[in-house]
Structure 1
Amino acid sequence: MMLRYFVYTFAAIWFIHAFWPSVAHAQQQPRPVSQCQAIAETLPQATFASFTPAAATKGQTTAGEVTISYLGHSTFLIETPGGVLIATDYSGWYAPSMPPTVATMNKAHSSHYTLTPDPAIKTVLHGWSDSGQPARHDLVVGDAYIRNVTTDIRAGGGAMEHDGNSIFIFEVADLCIGHLGHLHHELDDSHYSQIGRLDVLMVPVDGGLTMGAESMSRVVSRLRASLILPMHRRGPPIDAFLDMFGDDYDKRYADSASIKVSLRSLPSKPLIYILKGV
């Protein structure tokens, strides 16, 4: 009788230890899942029909709208429906009227980052790492999921510095918004796989400080974004970049530095939209 008691007790203890870790793990908060990568893998040729809600046409804000404003150089301000403010390639030179919630930066030139950001910025994300390893960001801030894909940049003497730039991807209101940062080379298949689908793409059009117009146009064409927002315009006129694209792209100059965009209002034909000030 005593032996049976010990056997049952031992079995109960083993059962608890064997299954307790899996139960505890199941209750932990799951890691964010990128809908942009998932959709790109299953529907690589998918495009979305253009549809503008009636409220949007009247200048009202709909629940799924994201406001994107061009501040200067390669800095955009992304405002999510939940009120999160994200400043891209933040250097402090083109600061929004109030401190952003998140600032992303790239170590290319001083106009793309600062080591002394406004202390009121809650989350600062460097596109590089000082540890010698690629920067890895994978976090949720409010209603925005933010991740990055690293690329190389040119360093002193013409050598390439590995992982000195990041393509930041913001997944907001079912939109996939990508910022190429200070991209210095064409992407390979591994980059495109990590990026996934992009609905909105912010692309440098300086004609050579990052990459030439022909190389940059190949990247843009491969990413197949519905809305393309030029930035970082230096040197040649923007027409040198626009001329790389044929009639399968619409091109339009905006009369404002801001645009409101939602998944439902994306153009069915890719649109290169030059915001005021670019």
Structure 2
Amino acid sequence: MLLRYLAYTLAVIWLIHTLWPEPARAQQSPAPVSQCQAIAEATPAATFVSFAAPQATLAAATDGEVTITYLGHSTFLIETPGGTSIATDYNGWFRTAAPPTVVTMNKAHSTHYTLTPDPAIRHVLHGWGDDGEPADHDLVVGDTYIRNVTTDIRSGFEGMEPNGNSIFIFEVAGLCIGHLGHLHHELDDSHYRQIGRLDILMVPVDGGLTMGAESMSRVASRLRAALILPMHRRGPPINDFLDMFGDDYDKSFAAGPSVKISLRTLPSKPLIYVLQGV
């Protein structure tokens, strides 16, 4: 009788344990997904992938405008519809009315970074690895997804330092915005795959401190952005860069340092737009 009772009790315990619902596990936020890469991969034959986005993506994009202001050298201030502000290649010299939410940096020269940023800046993103590994940024700040693709930079004695520079990519309001940083070499297919589609490209036009105008123009052409914003001009006239592009591109000089742009107002023909101050 006792054995039967014990067997019955164990069976009930086993049944309760088996059928009792497990406690809910904490749900982790899914990793951000790059729409710029996804759209580029979905339309490999597009001439200008900016305008080949699936309708679902266009419908999901906000109507808000992004404001891009040239502050100097390689520093732009990107202001998003959701109130996120980003300063590129931030060196602390070019001040904004309020500290940016995010700053990105590269280390080819001290004009592209600072080791003493304003403590009020919430996110300081180095384009180089601080732990011996390549920089790897993949974060969402407000309404903006920020990631990077590393490239090499020249170092002493004509050598190259692997992964010393980052191309930063900002995905916001349906737009894919890329900043080449202090790019020292032409990109290969793996770089282009990692970058994906770009609508807006910030490109150095110094004519040699980064790369010569011909090499840089090849990179800009391959990236197929609808709006190209020159930066980092030192020495050569801007026309040396503009002359590398034929009639497939419009060229225009802005009356001010800022441009307001949305997915719906991107130029239908690729435009090289020289903001005031460049």
TM-score, normalised to structure 2's length?
0.89
> Counterparts of 1:130 and 1:164 in 2: how far apart (Å)?
10
SS of residue matched to 2:181: coil
Distance 2:8 2:186 in 1: 70
* Closer, same or farther: CA 3–277 of 1 in aligned 2, 3 Å: same
Shift of 1:91: 0.1
Is it true that 1:116 corresponds to 2:119 in the alignment?
Answer: no
Aligned to 2:57: none
| Contact 2:70–2:276 under 8 Å retained in 1 | yes
Once the two structures are aligned, what percentage of the paired residues are identical?
A: 73
**Conservation of the 8 A alpha-carbon contact between 1:48 and 1:266:** no
**2: CA distance, partners of 1:92 / 1:134:** 24
- Per-residue CA deviation, residues 201-246 of structure 1 (Å, 9 max, x unaligned), is 0000000000011111111111000000000001211111111110
2:130 maps to: 130
Query: 1:6 maps to what in 2?
Result: 10
**For 2:145 and 2:222, how far apart are their aligned partners in 1?**
23
Equivalent residues of 2:201, 2:225 under 8 A apart: yes
Contact between 2:127 and 2:150, CA under 8 Å: does it hold in 1? yes
Hey, what's the Cα distance between the residues in 1 that align with 2:16 and 2:105?
54
Distance 1:14 1:113 in 2: 59
Query: Cα deviation per residue 1:33-69 (whole Å; 9 max; x = unaligned)?
Result: 11111101002313429xxxxxxxxxxxx94100000
User: What are the ranges of 5 or more consecutive residues in structure 2 without an aligned counterpart?
Assistant: 53-61
SS at structure 1 position matched to 2:235: coil
Q: Does 1:148 align with 2:148?
A: yes
CA deviation map 1:5-36 (0-9, x unaligned): 5356447656879x77xx636x2211111111
Secondary structure (helix, strand or coil) at the match of 1:222 reads: helix
In structure 2, the partner of 1:254 is: 254
Taking structure 1 as reference, are residues 250 and 115 closer, same or farther at Cα in structure 2, changes over 3 Å only? same
1:24 is aligned to: 25
Distance in structure 2 (CA, Å) of the matches to 1:151 and 1:11: 59
Change beyond 3 A, Cα 1:14–1:73: farther
Counterparts of 1:12 and 1:211, CA distance in 2: 70
1:227 matched to 2:231 = no
- 2:39 corresponds to which residue? 39
Counterpart position of 1:198: 198
Q: CA deviation at 1:157?
A: 1.3
Provide, for residues 98-154 of structure 1, a one-character-per-residue CA deviation record: whole Å limited to 9, x for no partner: 211111000110000000011111110000012110000001111111100110100
Cα RMSD of the aligned pairs, angstroms, is: 2.0
CA distance in 2: counterparts of 1:12 and 1:204, whole angstroms: 68
Query: What amino acid is the match of 1:24?
Result: R
| Larger-gyration structure (1/2) | 2
What is the rounded CA distance, in whole Å, between the counterparts of 1:206 and 1:159 in structure 2?
21
Alignment check: 8 A CA contact 2:214 2:244 kept:
yes
Equivalent in the alignment of 1:101: 101
Change (3 A) 1:82 1:11: same
Secondary structure of the corresponding residue to residue 276 of structure 1: coil
Distance 1:210 1:29, change over 3 A: same
1:59 match: none
Q: For 1:79, give the aligned amino acid.
A: E
Give the length in aligned residue pairs.
262
Q: Read off the aligned partner of 1:76 and give its amino acid letter.
A: F
Aligned match of 1:181: 181
Q: Which residue of 2 aligns with 1:48?
A: 51
Distance in 2 (CA, whole Å) between partners of 1:81 and 1:239 is 33
**What TM-score, normalized by structure 1, do the two folds share?**
0.89
Distance in 2 (CA, whole Å) between partners of 1:237 and 1:12 is 80
Amino acid at match of 2:25: A
